[in-house]
Structure 1
Amino acid sequence: MTSHRIPLTELESGTPFESRHIGPDAAAQAKMLAQVGYGSLDELTAAAVPDVIKSTERLALPEARSEAEVLAELRSFAHRNRVQHSMIGLGYHGTFTPPVILRNVMENPGWYTAYTPYQPEISQGRLEALLNFQTVVADLTGLPTSGASLLDEPTAAAEAMALSRRVGKAGKRGSTVFLVDAECLPQTVGVLRTRAEPTGVEVVVADLREGIPDEIADRGVFGVLLQYPGVSGVVRDQRAVIERAHELDAVVTVAADLLALTLLTSPGELGADIAVGSSQRFGVPMGFGGPHAGYMAVRDAFARSLPGRLVGVSRDADGEQAYRLALQTREQHIRREKATSNICTAQVLLAVMAGMYATYHGPDGLAAIARRTHRYAALLAAGLRDGGVQVVHGAFFDTVTARVPGRAAEVVERASLAGVDLRLTDADHVGITCDEITGREHLTAVWRAFGVLGDDAAGDFAALDTATADALPEPLLRTDEYLTHPVFHEHRSETGMLRYLRRLADRDYALDRGMIPLGSCTMKLNATTEMEPVTWPEFGALHPFAPAEQAEGYLTLIRELEERLAEVTGYDRVSLQPNAGSQGELAGLLAVRAYHRANGQEQRTVCLIPSSAHGTNAASAVMAGMKVVVVKTSDNGDVDVADLHAKIEQHGNELAVLMVTYPSTHGVFEEHISDVCAAVHEAGGQVYVDGANLNALLGVAKPGRFGADVSHLNLHKTFCIPHGGGGPGVGPIGVREHLAPYLPNHPLQPAAGPETGIGPVSGAPWGSAGILPISWAYVRLMGAEGLRRATQVAVLSANYIAKRLEPHYPVLYAGPNGLVAHECIIDVRPLTKQTGVSIDDVAKRLIDYGFHAPTMSFPVAGTLMIEPTESEDLAELDRFCEAMIAIRAEIDKVGTGEWDAQDNPLRNAPHTAAMLAGEWQQAYGREEAVFPAGVKASDKYWPPVRRIDGAFGDRNLVCSCPPVAEYEAG
């Protein structure tokens, strides 16, 4: 037997990651190309992509590396970060993530690869987890309705500002002043100013220790923001300020620390109308700034105006309790220019973690953590006082402000050398914040830094503890019960929590189960290699305001990712600060606005938006102070060029920007995109290309080169950050050089953006930096050729599905040569007209076949928008196509009368195991219901509930854990 000699270089290279990421192998690609009618990927690309936008040069990226090499490179970045014990505070705290939650939520693809729960029947697990989160927030804040999370604390405060103006009496009278206490977080004030200025709101920061100054009250105030406890650590009774604000008809928001609220009187009891904040310290790593779940809770009167997502309790077709997203008709992508917010996502994965942290610890455990945290702060203050250091406040929770005239910088430096980071407030003051993981050794290091304890001395903690009283004011101690629902008392053991998490995950459908073919959402592989570094402590445990020299690895990774994103998009500069696509849209439009104003063209306020655009485009434009003008869409799905020219002519020198999605929202490469861009530029406007469909362009075309001035990029789509059940995401913006001076910046980190920037749009300097290693790793693993092939296979997969389904469903739009881009739209409307089978029926029936439905009724009502991505292999693509073809045959049975129009598997879908086991009353058989063509009994996914009654849930709004009696009855 002779052996075949293989060159060492080939053996060393291993299996390229590209072949792991791209589902169809060479043989499958050949079969798919034959179906579509082309001989190679390059031939298909030449036919599908207009010549006018094609890039001719290869992407200037480093060569692709193996998974082992990329992990080693990321390890080198991690080792260049120096994680010290942070006592900086400012809304970011050390926390201990229970390993059962770390492993079974954060590191579990069953949780992190799921999509937004728009199909609630297959999202019951994460909807219950979010309901737990909402209950935690509502209980602790003392306000009855909480949302399913917002992006971070500062943006939640900005949403509260907008809500206050909209619903408050003073706001309705035209008041434009939003009053902010000087004790509020500086990053919150920065985001408020960024968001306020375009909408004509004046943010006034004042010291409210003595109440609201008369000169401000006389001007009229529509809203007030208080911090509780304050940034300096002080805990004050805010009742008098709140009462005075209400006398002025102002709406009061309290930014509150959830851990402190386990011990302190709730904002609701103090009289607040709105509470906002962060749930980060409930088991979510700091991650150099994010992602974290912000929160908002409101009193009953504001429940139906709450921005963002709201999980509600409804019932299914059998009358059983079921969860869903409530009030979906007010979602921002539906309301468009009438939207009151552009938020269309949440921080679901992080909200789940925070909610499970509270579920695992329960009210007693949370209070114990809070008491320990406070006790360390009290001992810290006592030790400083004993050493002659002035402690500024006598009442505090976890933060001590010490006054050391002229010595503050020296103290901070000495503490840093001892491995502890403190906050330099000014030349005379140092801020020190304790948290869940603060230990005696950290207090000792701080005392030594202040010089109140010798370098070799050790504090007598027992004596100090005996002699030191708590520093929480007696009138503000909490007396009411919270988290009384059984869910917060039943999962104390790790075994119990493990099984609870598994039980919820089993109710859901995520990418670990099968394809999620959602158009415009790009549900592709989130590779384990990309995900693994996120949980490394060198990335997860770093405070966003740690000194730059402690974050060299992070900053290098961020710089390289910015440069590589600029290269693949053709832009000159990139900002990674926006922590969602909506934030990226806003940042891009604010940059355009600032550019026009800098050129003395403040009259340019008109934003042209095609009628097919995603609704957040219009909402973002309104938030940026622009007037939305809709441009018609042609019958083929393209922008109506004639109407565009008419609108440009009509608005003349008022034109600010055109927002357009490319490829189009209809999934087509528009051939005239460069002409469209040129027409807008000739009129003095800018072009914003929405990056939602960038997965059809990487390595093939660059928006920054075919006419666009700015784009936001969805890193949670094209660049493999997982959707997390509806968040996290990252929405950075790329801009041409002339817009670079107007990128976001940050008041606490000059390196995060230009001095001339628009201000911060997110709380942290680099947004959700903790998940940026995912996108960095994806680009590094794929290289230039891998990214191009991924795009080509994504386009091939969409065209393969379109060709297979075309004989059974009309494919609504196609470009030249009858080709689509990376997604296709199939039209169900003619079938609905003929048979009565609705788009909902098709979507729910797909659940019986073991699939998540494609995007429903967007951008066209009564259609399904299908995006397979490059990561699904041919077997899964065929399984989906065969399910859709089988469903078409079922529709025909309804049309011919073989199946009753009301009693058929489509109308009754999805079918549950309970339905199967009960008395069967349907005219069709059990097997037809639950094991339709191609579904194996051994692989069956069983939905936990039947079709949910959305209208009932909206009429009877319940958005926290149901009463115990209902819980027990269920």
Structure 2
Amino acid sequence: MTNQINLSTDNEFIARHIGPRQADEQAMLTTLGFDSLEALSASVIPDSIKGTSVLDMPAGQSEADALAAIKAIASQNQLFKTYIGQGYYNTHTPAPILRNLLENPAWYTAYTPYQPEISQGRLEALLNFQTLISDLTGLPIANASLLDEATAAAEAMTFCKRLSKNKGSHAFFASSHCHPQTLDVLRTRAEPLGIEIVVGDERKLTDVSAFFGALLQYPASNGDLFDYRELVERFHAANALVAVAADLLALTLLTPPGEFGADVAIGSAQRFGVPLGFGGPHAAYFSTRDAFKRDMPGRLVGVSIDRFGKPAYRLAMQTREQHIRREKATSNICTAQVLLANIASMYAVYHGPQGLQQIARRTHQLTAILAKGLVALGVTVEQEHFFDTLTLSTGSATAALHVKARDQQLNLREIDAQRLGLSLDETSRQADVEALWQLFASAGQAMPDFAALAASVESRIPQTLVRGSAILSHPVFNRYHSETELMRYLRRLADKDLALDRTMIPLGSCTMKLNAASEMIPVTWAEFGNLHPFAPAEQSKGYQLLTDELEAMLCAATGYDAVSLQPNAGSQGEYAGLLAIRAYHQSRGDDRRDICLIPSSAHGTNPATAHMAGMRVVVTACDARGNVDIEDLRAKAIEHREHLAALMITYPSTHGVFEEGIREICAIIHDNGGQVYIDGANMNAMVGLCAPGKFGGDVSHLNLHKTFCIPHGGGGPGVGPIGVKSHLAPFLPGHGHMERKEGAVCAAPFGSASILPITWMYIRMMGGEGLKRASQLAILNANYIARRLEEHFPVLYSGSNGLVAHECILDLRPLKDSSGISVDDVAKRLIDFGFHAPTMSFPVAGTLMIEPTESESKQELDRFCDAMICIREEIRAVENGTLDKDDNPLKNAPHTAAELAGEWAHPYSREQAVFPLASLVEGKYWPPVGRVDNVFGDRNLVCACPSIESYQDV
């Protein structure tokens, strides 16, 4: 008898993505009292919404087949030599940064550094970024990045509105020399807030008294270099604030905005080693004066001390102010672009000040040589002073020149029918300059002599704008210039942190699941990474196919009719969704509809977003079980029916429960003339089981960095596309490079396009059945944890059947009363067990919200449960007096190796401190610092530094 060989190519990916093995799955189901996943799902999903999801998708593909399919898609993109510029530039990502940071799961699977003790590595990298920005812009305070240059400009506009002393003004001046995509986003953001955008040539401004603020571009989008000193003084005399969008590479040679009086500097760090990626993700920056630091949007990394007095990094001040202040928040931005900011910071660390200036000088010199040669060829160059960009007056030959250029696989910037633009960058070389001369030369015309021009060309930066101040003098930018040193520095930082490559990150509402290697591989392919977002459409057919297919996949998963992939974060998806609702009402003459109902349990970004969209927030109550109080909702919907615009509701609820009345809730809103926005933050419990577009939702945003596997990257990148029903489709975000020109919510037409292949790969490999199974396992894992822990920590909310959705909330408030142990103590003690803490005190103060995801194995779930049970025993020991009330392992957590090696004065043992479970001996994580003092950090704010060693004398 011969052995039969299995020749099938069945998809193995589903089992690779999902953690529990078959026997583990059955054991967990038995614990919960179910005999199958179908039976569990039937019990969890309310009857009213069962059957609303039928994933019309083919079976999942194997990893090899999916990679081959997406390679074929990528090959349809054409990579021309691009000189378009307009805020996006070719760049070299240094190989050690590519391999040791961008492609390293220790960096890309990390979470937002809310727990500073286990985030010291990425916090140091972000502090380097802030120092880089502060140095180059000449302004003392910089944040840890924003989403892109255009949205940073919009944040600067509202920042100026809040702080300007010209309180009577509602007009904001934006230079016509700003990038067009920035002006588009400014218009989108301004209109709901009643801000008038006045676009004009700042050189022709005679009266500036009407403006509360202004935005200038430096260098100008067309390449010009203007001295803004006198203009800034005039704006200040009129009590207006001035923001300057500045190019970081140019600032290594130019007078920084802070030195000519700017109040804010914003821009993109893309050209510091971050691939073009068809528009993103890229890190924007925002810097300002020290006096304005508490009004600055976004994250801010600061230096504090731990309980031993040792310097330690942390997120400072209002890092989650949109959750705390809600509709009074200054911004709805919930995250940053951490991974990309870290790439940019390491690019500066690797090259150092001399290296950056050398890159800038070479780029500028090549541009000067190019300009001089073009003039010799009879071409009119409009700029006398410039850095790396030229505008050419080419008259009636313009269209033909574009055709000729594309025939030679060159892309020039399309300005208008009479002019075109050229931008050089760090990848430009002599051969490129000579190829451009050939393009513009007439038949038989002799080519300029490159060597002769190079020997004679002078700088085209005016002496009045030449930078006189030093840059990047801090030690961190002057040490790690060899690959060996940089590699070890990156490893040393990564070793300080906990990311998904080490441990489960059980964060409720944040969905930290597997980011499979096969999903990540296409991100760094040149066909996706090296395409300019404004390249002609015929060159991006691969991206068009990818986005078309991904939109169809997401429609199938959500039950909506159309999807926009433009929003580059969940917060921007929320915003785009409410703008679509607002525009829909206005199209019907319902301008009065401006009330947004939001349950008290909602994510803090919801009311902040509603405020940004020009809506008034009315909060509705929740009942004792955490569900929306339907009668209160009904009463308020009826009360405001003439003005009701929308309801924003999260489903499953923020409390981790499938609310049974969701259809009735949606019907109440529709009956009173409103639209239903269903926050898609918890979509990981629904894919394949129920679809928001089928049970009453009109629009939802999706967090692709949650449900659909794009990694968190230490707090960014993210993608927040929106799905809508057909009646809202005409109001999806537009863009100057799309059919609909108005309504852009970010700088690039498809937002963070280069990471969309991750989600495409995930969905293609899982298929409809795999996606459904992932949702079922997420629910199983969450209920297993809830069941194992409920006798130790009360589970605060559950459905009528005693089950939760994909996350559960543990109530620690009674323990605070009985033992003095806080939720913060438990979170820090989990670090000693090698775990990132669950979500703390959200949505209920004094609780932990746990979301295990489907990717975690039963062994990891049990390891976490064992840690929590051990912690409960320690709390019990405090309660009965066995452990001291103030000097115990929880109050002193986390424990460092340095503390263990020093004098030990605690009444509990060293072993209990650092090895509370025997399993920790083999794979111990040692936190680099003790518990960080948050109050000290805010009272003694330091937000730029060379390296932590320099603060040893603090």
Q: TM-score range by the shorter chain?
A: over 0.9
Cα deviations by residue, 1:692-741 (Å, 9 ceiling, x for unpaired): 00000000000000000000000000000000000000000000000011
Counterpart secondary structure, 1:169: coil
Contact 1:669 / 1:821 at 8 angstroms: preserved in 2? yes
- Distance in 2 between residues matched to 1:167 and 1:535, nearest whole Å: 41
Query: Quick one: which of 249, 273, 285 aligns to 1:295?
Result: 285
Counterpart secondary structure, 2:302: strand
**Which residue in the other structure is 1:4 paired with?**
3
- Distance in 1 between residues matched to 2:539 and 2:471, nearest whole Å: 40
Structure 1 position 968, deviation (Å): 6.4
**Which residue in the other structure is 1:576 paired with?**
565
**Which residue in the other structure is 1:188 paired with?**
182
Query: Quick one: which of 815, 819, 823 aligns to 2:799?
Result: 815
Structure 1 position 78, deviation (Å): 1.3
**Which residue in the other structure is 2:24 paired with?**
28
Q: How does 1:108-123 map to 2 (within 5 A)?
A: 108-123=104-119
- Distance in 1 between residues matched to 2:949 and 2:864, nearest whole Å: 42
**Which residue in the other structure is 1:248 paired with?**
238
Structure 1 position 264, deviation (Å): 0.2
- Distance in 2 between residues matched to 1:412 and 1:267, nearest whole Å: 35
**Which residue in the other structure is 2:471 paired with?**
482
Query: Quick one: which of 181, 192, 203 aligns to 2:197?
Result: 203
Alpha carbons of structure 1 residues 104 and 351: separation in structure 2 relative to 1, 3 Å? same
**Which residue in the other structure is 2:206 paired with?**
213
- Distance in 2 between residues matched to 1:525 and 1:334, nearest whole Å: 30
**Which residue in the other structure is 1:514 paired with?**
503
- Distance in 2 between residues matched to 1:780 and 1:438, nearest whole Å: 38
Amino acid at match of 1:362: G
Is 1:17 equivalent to 2:6 in the alignment? no
Counterpart secondary structure, 1:227: strand
Counterpart secondary structure, 2:202: coil
**Which residue in the other structure is 2:297 paired with?**
307
TM-score normalized with structure 1 length? 0.97
Is 1:912 equivalent to 2:912 in the alignment? no
Alpha carbons of structure 1 residues 454 and 848: separation in structure 2 relative to 1, 3 Å? farther
Query: Quick one: which of 345, 348, 363 aligns to 2:353?
Result: 363
- Distance in 2 between residues matched to 1:105 and 1:688, nearest whole Å: 37
Cα deviations by residue, 1:841-884 (Å, 9 ceiling, x for unpaired): 00000000010000000000000000000000010000000100
In structure 1, stretches of 5+ residues that fail to align are none
Counterpart secondary structure, 2:211: coil
Contact 2:475 / 2:946 at 8 angstroms: preserved in 1? no
- Distance in 2 between residues matched to 1:273 and 1:427, nearest whole Å: 36
Contact 1:420 / 1:445 at 8 angstroms: preserved in 2? no
Structure 1 position 467, deviation (Å): 2.4
Structure 1 position 490, deviation (Å): 0.7
- Distance in 2 between residues matched to 1:206 and 1:328, nearest whole Å: 35
Q: How does 1:189-588 map to 2 (within 5 A)?
A: 189-210=183-204, 212-214=205-207, 217-218=208-209, 220-328=210-318, 331-451=321-441, 459-588=448-577
- Distance in 1 between residues matched to 2:896 and 2:252, nearest whole Å: 40
Structure 1 position 441, deviation (Å): 2.0
Counterpart secondary structure, 1:97: coil
Amino acid at match of 1:242: V
> Matched residues, percent identical?
61
Contact 2:214 / 2:243 at 8 angstroms: preserved in 1? yes
**Which residue in the other structure is 1:148 paired with?**
144
Contact 2:311 / 2:952 at 8 angstroms: preserved in 1? no
**Which residue in the other structure is 1:921 paired with?**
905
Is 1:776 equivalent to 2:766 in the alignment? no
- Distance in 1 between residues matched to 2:918 and 2:280, nearest whole Å: 43
Is 1:750 equivalent to 2:738 in the alignment? yes
Structure 1 position 612, deviation (Å): 0.5
Structure 1 position 944, deviation (Å): 0.3
Query: Quick one: which of 654, 663, 673 aligns to 1:674?
Result: 663
Contact 1:388 / 1:452 at 8 angstroms: preserved in 2? no
> What value does the CA root-mean-square deviation take over the aligned residues?
1.3
Is 1:944 equivalent to 2:939 in the alignment? no
Cα deviations by residue, 1:134-160 (Å, 9 ceiling, x for unpaired): 000000000000000000000000000
Cα deviations by residue, 1:52-83 (Å, 9 ceiling, x for unpaired): 11226631112210000011011111111111
Query: Quick one: which of 782, 807, 813 aligns to 1:798?
Result: 782
In structure 2, stretches of 5+ residues that fail to align are none
Contact 1:422 / 1:432 at 8 angstroms: preserved in 2? yes
Amino acid at match of 2:224: V
Contact 1:591 / 1:742 at 8 angstroms: preserved in 2? yes
Contact 1:412 / 1:449 at 8 angstroms: preserved in 2? no
Counterpart secondary structure, 1:653: coil
Contact 1:485 / 1:964 at 8 angstroms: preserved in 2? no
Contact 2:128 / 2:946 at 8 angstroms: preserved in 1? no
Contact 1:588 / 1:710 at 8 angstroms: preserved in 2? yes
Cα deviations by residue, 1:106-165 (Å, 9 ceiling, x for unpaired): 000000000000000000000000000000000000000000000000000000000000
- Distance in 2 between residues matched to 1:962 and 1:855, nearest whole Å: 31
- Distance in 1 between residues matched to 2:353 and 2:42, nearest whole Å: 62
Structure 1 position 966, deviation (Å): 3.5
Counterpart secondary structure, 1:936: helix
Alpha carbons of structure 1 residues 605 and 97: separation in structure 2 relative to 1, 3 Å? same
**Which residue in the other structure is 1:852 paired with?**
836
Is 1:863 equivalent to 2:852 in the alignment? no
Cα deviations by residue, 1:521-543 (Å, 9 ceiling, x for unpaired): 00000000000000001100000
Structure 1 position 407, deviation (Å): 1.1
Contact 1:178 / 1:224 at 8 angstroms: preserved in 2? yes
Alpha carbons of structure 1 residues 963 and 872: separation in structure 2 relative to 1, 3 Å? closer
- Distance in 2 between residues matched to 1:700 and 1:856, nearest whole Å: 28
- Distance in 2 between residues matched to 1:965 and 1:712, nearest whole Å: 43
Q: How does 1:676-715 map to 2 (within 5 A)?
A: 676-715=665-704
Amino acid at match of 1:264: L
Cα deviations by residue, 1:403-441 (Å, 9 ceiling, x for unpaired): 111111211221222122101211111100000001122
Structure 1 position 394, deviation (Å): 0.7
- Distance in 2 between residues matched to 1:453 and 1:496, nearest whole Å: 52
- Distance in 2 between residues matched to 1:814 and 1:303, nearest whole Å: 42
Amino acid at match of 1:155: T
Amino acid at match of 1:108: N
TM-score normalized with structure 2 length? 0.99
Is 1:633 equivalent to 2:633 in the alignment? no
Counterpart secondary structure, 2:203: coil
Is 1:126 equivalent to 2:122 in the alignment? yes
- Distance in 2 between residues matched to 1:331 and 1:107, nearest whole Å: 32
Contact 2:107 / 2:714 at 8 angstroms: preserved in 1? yes
- Distance in 1 between residues matched to 2:235 and 2:52, nearest whole Å: 62
- Distance in 2 between residues matched to 1:84 and 1:474, nearest whole Å: 36
Give the number of equivalent residue pairs: 954
Amino acid at match of 1:149: S
Counterpart secondary structure, 1:180: strand
- Distance in 2 between residues matched to 1:391 and 1:7, nearest whole Å: 68
Q: How does 1:597-608 map to 2 (within 5 A)?
A: 597-608=586-597
Counterpart secondary structure, 1:80: coil
Structure 1 position 3, deviation (Å): 3.9
Alpha carbons of structure 1 residues 802 and 192: separation in structure 2 relative to 1, 3 Å? same
Counterpart secondary structure, 1:711: strand
Contact 1:138 / 1:144 at 8 angstroms: preserved in 2? yes
Structure 1 position 331, deviation (Å): 2.1
